[in-house]
Amino acid sequence: MKAIRLLLFTIPLLLVAFAANARSQQAVTFPSGDSTGQGLLYLPQGAGPHPALIVIHEWWGLNDWVKQKAAGYAAQGYVALAVDLYHGKVATDPELAHELSRGLPQDQGVRDLTSALAWLQQRKDVNPRRVGAVGWCMGGGFALQLAIAAPSLRAVAINYGSLATDKAALARIHAAVLGNFGGEDRGISPQSVHAFVATMQSLGKPVNVKIYPDAGHAFENPGNTGGYRPADTADALARIDRFFGETLKQ
């Protein structure tokens, strides 16, 4: 009898949570050049205007982990748009992820992201002067490219994404930049991170980068078997929260 009462108590709570999630997550499309961009929009409580974040997925695509990230930012008070750069395709093995990432032209990805930014800035529930971007792996590299292409972007958080070093390109960045990288990352080496920071500092750009000595690539993703670093992840996520709180909320 006790189990039945517990079940009767739990089911309504689950239904309420499901309904709230259904209201807060919306599949959206937006014009992107001659084509159409797409993604999932997550809304915070209240009418706004709110700060907003463009959430950019890894080379796996817009999977459940990235959706959870976007939903978490909405819970913190941001209008969060998780852009789907693969237009519905999601990889579950490295071979397909490599194929999808190699098949995405950089100009197309940047066009989708700048179009997403313009679409967000036109929404009545978004403060157009307080929009940032966050990305991981491939998405981290695209987050930086978005900052280069869109001077109205306020802040960008790069998690072990590829880094541009061309001084003329980096000079176009107006956003504050935060970066989290692994000291044992074989793709994004500490040397390339130091070179990026040096160039940004020479340009007088605000940049805050941390390298976690014992972490490799994708250390923030729990699905990275053997490479996930919970303590480093907690620190990196706290850094991102503080960063966006200071640049987008204050």
DSSP 182-193: ETT-SSS-HHHH
CATH topology of domain 25-249: Rossmann fold (3.40.50)
Q: Could you give the angle at the alpha carbon of 225 between the alpha carbons of 184 and 61, nearest 5°?
A: 90
Where do the domains of the chain lie? Answer: 25-249
In angstroms, rounded to a whole number, what is the distance separating the alpha carbons of residues 57 and 85?
8
Q: How far is CA 27 from CA 40, 73, 107, in A?
A: 5, 17, 23
The pLDDT value recorded for residue 6 is 38
Residues 111-136: tens digit of each pLDDT: 999 999 999 999 999 999 999 999 99
Under a CB-based contact definition with an 8 Å cutoff, are residues 145 and 109 in contact? yes
pLDDT above 70 (res 14)? no
The pLDDT value recorded for residue 3 is 42
Q: For strand 176-182 and strand 207-212, is the pairing parallel, antiparallel, or unpaired?
A: parallel
Long-range contacts, stretch 24-29, CB < 8 angstroms, 24+ apart: 24/71, 24/74, 25/67, 25/71, 28/81, 28/119
Under a CB-based contact definition with an 8 Å cutoff, are residues 150 and 244 in contact? no
In angstroms, rounded to a whole number, what is the distance separating the alpha carbons of residues 226 and 45?
37
Q: What is the mean pLDDT of residues 128-157?
A: 98
CA proximity to 84, closest of 52, 39, 54: 39
The pLDDT value recorded for residue 15 is 32
pLDDT band (50, 70, 90) for residue 250: confident
Instruction: Write the burial class of residue 129 (CB in 10 Å: 0-12 exposed, 13-18 middle, 19+ buried).
Output: exposed
Sheet holding 25-32, edge to edge: 25-32, 35-42, 79-83, 50-56, 126-136, 155-159, 176-182, 207-212
Residues 88-118: tens digit of each pLDDT: 999 999 999 999 999 999 999 999 999 999 9
**In the predicted model, what is the mean pLDDT of the chain?**
92
- What distance separates the 2 farthest-apart alpha carbons in the chain? 71
Q: What is the mean pLDDT of residues 13-23?
A: 39
Q: What is the mean pLDDT of residues 206-216?
A: 98
Q: Could you give the angle at the alpha carbon of 157 between the alpha carbons of 108 and 50, nearest 5°?
A: 90
User: Residue 210 forms beta bridges with which residues?
Assistant: 180
| Cis peptide preceding 31, ω within 30 of 0 | no
The pLDDT value recorded for residue 11 is 37
Under a CB-based contact definition with an 8 Å cutoff, are residues 84 and 39 in contact? yes
Which residues, at least 6 apart from 135, have a Cβ–Cβ distance to it below 8 Å? 55, 56, 57, 141, 142, 143, 157, 158, 159, 161
Query: Which residue type occupies 95?
Result: E
- How does DSSP classify residue 61? -
Q: What is the mean pLDDT of residues 11-25?
A: 44
The pLDDT value recorded for residue 24 is 73
The pLDDT value recorded for residue 207 is 98
